Amino acid sequence: MLNTLKNRFEQGYRTSTYPKKTVELVPRYRGRPQVHKNAPSDLVVKCAAACPQDAIDIDRKLINMGRCVFCGICERISEGRFISFTRDFGYSVAEKDHLLTDGEIPSLADHARQHFKKLFGRSLQLRQVSAAGCNACEADLNVLATPFFDLARFGINFVASPRHSDGIVVTGPISRNMKTALLQTYEAVPDPKVVIAVGSCSISGGPFRGSPEITEGLDSLLPVDLYIPGCPSHPMANLHAFLKFFK
């Protein structure tokens, strides 16, 4: 008993004050990409050629956050003159078109489905479906239940049954072998329901695009309400998106 109390005292209080006070991430964290439009074209071409995800639109000088895995190669090559990654984790979007960006992300709160705020703003139960996810996005969603993030304080919980949930959070590139299970889980959620795509895999197939075993984009199967890019998306990006979209 004494040992239990000693540990409790040593661990202290760890829950963040976010969103009252924002959280500063470390300098090397790569969040929202910022495109610098005045970059010379040859530099843009060079970045596009090196991009492992082919996420750069050369003509329009834009980056597709749905494909991007935030590896930062374009930033290195252009020395930040074409693309630089900011420490801003508030880059999630409600419309697929907004994923293709120059870095100016439309306000998520304004583009959120307003009736969802009314329906789920005070209580939101989500069912997570890993559809061939590599366990990185899953881990960074799971972590929202730990003391620092403490998702439950916002009335948001991950639940065990789709029957008890208001929507699904999908990770992974939706393998052929998980497609039916995913669609059945979606069917089992009562209306009205939310669909959230987390990670570049679920948004675009991510690193696995081109494989016949996967689906390139959850939106080809289900109507997606919220896109949270990343590989994986940082837990703060997830938390930010949930709060802006539903609160």
Q: How far is the CB of 21 from other proteins (least distance, A)?
A: 18
Closer residue to other proteins in complex, CB, 117/125: 125
Closer residue to other proteins in complex, CB, 93/132: 132
Q: How far is the CB of 143 from other proteins (least distance, A)?
A: 6
Interface region with other proteins, contact rule CB under 8 A, candidates 34-42, 95-103, 141-149, 221-229? 141-149
- HEC assignment per residue over the chain: CHHHHHHHHHHCCCCCCCCCCCCCCCCCCCCCEEECCCCCHHHHHHHHHHCCCCCEECCCCEEECCCCCCCCHHHHHCCCCCEEECCCCCCCECCHHHHEECCCCCCHHHHCCHHHHHHHCCCEEEEEEECCCCCHHHHHHHHHHCCCCCHHHHCEEECCCHHHCCEEEEECCCEHHHHHHHHHHHHHCCCCCEEEEECHHHHHCHHHCCCCCECCCHHHCCCCCEEECCCCCCHHHHHHHHHHHHC
Q: How far is the CB of 119 from other proteins (least distance, A)?
A: 23
Asked if 7 interacts with other proteins (CB under 8 A), we say yes
Encoded one letter per residue, x for contact with other proteins by CB under 8 A and - for no contact, window 24-43 reads -xx-xxx-------------
Asked if 137 interacts with other proteins (CB under 8 A), we say yes
Asked if 135 interacts with other proteins (CB under 8 A), we say yes
User: According to CB under 8 A, which one of 86, 125, 157, 211 is a site residue for other proteins?
Assistant: 211
